[in-house]
Amino acid sequence: MKEENKLKTIEKLFEGKEIRTLWDADKEEYYFSVVDVIYALTDSKNPRDYWYKLKIRMSTEEKSQLSTNCRQLKMQSSDGKFYNTDTLDTEGIFRLIQSIPSPKAEPFKLWLAKVGNERVDETFDPEIGFQRLINIYLRKGYSRDWIKQRLITILNRNILTEAWSEHGIEKEIEFAILTNEIYKTWSDFTAKEYKQYKNLTKESLRDNMTNTELALNNLAEVATKEIIDVKTPYGLDENKTIAKEGGEVAKNARIDLENRLGKSVISSKNAKDINLITEKKAIKN
């Protein structure tokens, strides 16, 4: 856990009870105190003992799933000192909630069941998922022009990842390395640096890009896919070279545009700023 990892306390969660939380900047993941969640859901006088007994009652599969996501991290206790504490990431916490027979856990279980049913419906009719995504962005305040641009980037991103898969890229870390190479080439930022510039933590970088940034990143990924089709690279090293070439296409476009505008198009604005601009325009219109 590096120094930039931020300690946060989520208040008024689970009826106002505090859930200690750690942000892991390297993994880009929140980790939640297991005993805090158990106490919030059960009001157990000894949540650590409850956690111990719960693990005994769990099936082998459940234990395996939770142990994969469980980490011991130092968290601040009520005495002000830091102790090793069992923590789970977001996925692990949802699994934990499903394992706790508590009335307070029922709303979460119902929500999970609803989400699962929606995903089944989308399997039979993909257009439902497409419309759901549009509605999510609309509720967040994005403009329809931005949403259209974002959906195009999602489509082209999927086409690129399929091409990488067909050319010897299998591991998740390899996809991340290639994506980072594209970012670094066209924007001069790694993905991590770009998110820090926009003051982001776990949020999606692309969901916090302006229309111009989305267009440039999309150009880089489309160019990468086209070059892959011609040069047929295989494996991580060869694909890294192609990713850089694709990024250079977008970098040249970015430099040309910045010279014409007289300013940088790499913005520190995140979704909150983008949404605010959209609201102001709507009021003016």
138 and 226 inside one domain: yes
pLDDT tens, 106-153?
Answer: 766 665 566 556 655 655 566 666 777 888 888 888 988 999 999 999
pLDDT of 3 > 50? The answer is no
270 and 132 inside one domain: yes
106 and 186 inside one domain: no
Mean pLDDT computed over 211-227: 97
Q: How many domains does the chain have?
A: 2
| Domain boundaries, position 154 | 125-284
Cβ-contact 186, 254 below 8 angstroms:
yes
Cβ-contact 213, 267 below 8 angstroms:
yes
- What is the per-residue pLDDT for 95? 80
- What is the per-residue pLDDT for 211? 93
Work out whether the CA dihedral 80, 83, 86, 89 comes out positive or negative: positive
Q: Give the predicted TM-score (pTM) of the model.
A: 0.62
Which of the pair, 257 or 60, is modelled with greater confidence?
257
The CA-to-CA distance between both ends of the chain, in Å, stands at: 48
pLDDT of 79 > 90? The answer is no
- What is the per-residue pLDDT for 262? 97
**How far from the centroid of its chain's Cα atoms is residue 48's Cα?**
30
Q: Is residue 1 part of a domain?
A: no
Work out whether the CA dihedral 241, 242, 244, 249 comes out positive or negative: positive
110 and 131 inside one domain: no
151 and 196 inside one domain: yes
